[in-house]
Amino acid sequence: MMARSLAAEFAKLKRSKMILWTLLALLAYAALTLAVAPYLGSDAGQTGLKDAGGIWQQATEQGVFDDTWAAGLKQEPRFIAGGLVLLIFALVTAYVFGREFKEGTAVQSLTAPLRREYLTLSKLAVIAVWLLAWTALSMLVHIIDLAILQEGFAGLAARDLWAATGDTFLAAFMLYLTLPLFAWMAVWGKGYLRPMLAAVTITGMSSAIINTEFSPYFPWNMPVHVVGASWMPIPPSGLVPASWLVLVAVFVIGVAGTIWQLNRADTA
């Protein structure tokens, strides 16, 4: 039954415009990188960042925006850890779990002789594959961007590439562990509104508390503490063991809550 549920969920993605929209978001970011990175790495850009003072000056002095392969590769995991990717995959999660309510087909899936646990896990598997493929493509596109900016692969070190790749997929994995909460909200709200409002609110909260003592315990800030962020910018600072316990707890609560909500959902 689980295999059939998985096959059905992947079949639902055929001709899905949401896949196209997530790809367009990725390409838009890649285009923005090509437009902005040359200025940030130039003498004028570096001077402007230093003049801004504070964390921007510190980041510039630490080489965060240097026009090199090593500095450029570190921006990819920081992109994945940022709020934009959270918004994209909160929307993907809301779409996967909420589309049947919006399209009026929930009556078929919720009345089928299928355990709700299988339905939940199948949808989460679809999201996991989607996030994995999207992250891999994002890494590839970023490398192409850097090759264009650097006019070739001279200066690319294998250790920098592997480190950036590992950090990128680690940030994506940490993000994925928070997505079941948005799935719960999508089923609870029977659509996309509640999970997206939650994602926007969380993104704002992330920025507000990033420099506080509570930040290492806030699940959506944890990837930033591991790989850093370019949007403020913020260097990696590491996590405490309790942070990982919180992150795992958020995943478990999200999955359990989604199953519970599906078990009591009606099709009206």
Alpha carbon distance 97, 229 (integer Å): 29
Q: Give the residues across from 185 on adjacent strands.
A: none
Helix, strand, coil percentages (3-state) for the chain, rounded to 5, are 80, 0, 20
Q: What average pLDDT does the segment 183-187 reach?
A: 94
Q: What average pLDDT does the segment 197-224 reach?
A: 92
Alpha carbon distance 201, 208 (integer Å): 11
Q: What average pLDDT does the segment 210-230 reach?
A: 90
What HEC string does the chain produce?
Answer: CHHHHHHHHHHCCCCCHHHHHHHHHHHHHHHHHHHHHHHHHCHHHHHHHHHHCHHHHHHHHCCCCCCCHHHHHHHHHHHHHCHHHHHHHHHHHHHHHHHHHHHCCHHHHHHCCCCHHHHHHHHHHHHHHHHHHHHHHHHHHHHHHHHHHHCCCCCCCHHHHHHHHHHHHHHHHHHHCCHHHHHHHHHHHCCCHHHHHHHHHHHHHHHHHCCCCCHHHCHHHHHHHHHCECCCCECCCCCCHHHHHHHHHHHHHHHHHHHHHHHCCCCC
Sequence-distant (6+) residues with CB within 8 A of 238 are 225, 226
Q: What average pLDDT does the segment 20-48 reach?
A: 85
Alpha carbon distance 189, 204 (integer Å): 21
- CA distance readout (Å), 126 to 92, 95, 110: 10, 11, 18
Q: Which pLDDT belongs to residue 268?
A: 46
Q: Which pLDDT belongs to residue 118?
A: 82
Alpha carbon distance 225, 234 (integer Å): 8
Q: Which pLDDT belongs to residue 103?
A: 64
At residue 200, does pLDDT exceed 60? yes
Q: What average pLDDT does the segment 183-206 reach?
A: 92
Per the CB < 8 A criterion, the answer to whether 75 and 59 are in contact is no
Q: What average pLDDT does the segment 19-37 reach?
A: 91
Picking from 49, 87, 36, 71, the residue whose alpha carbon sits closest to that of residue 235 is 71
Which pTM was predicted? 0.90
Q: Which pLDDT belongs to residue 1?
A: 63
The average confidence (pLDDT) of the chain is 86
Q: Which pLDDT belongs to residue 201?
A: 95
At residue 242, does pLDDT exceed 80? yes
| pLDDT single digits (tens) 45-87 | 777 777 777 677 777 777 777 888 998 999 999 999 988 899 9
| pLDDT single digits (tens) 104-142 | 555 555 555 567 788 889 999 999 999 999 999 999 999
Residue count of the chain, please give it. 268
At residue 152, does pLDDT exceed 70? yes
Q: Which pLDDT belongs to residue 174?
A: 96
At residue 183, does pLDDT exceed 70? yes
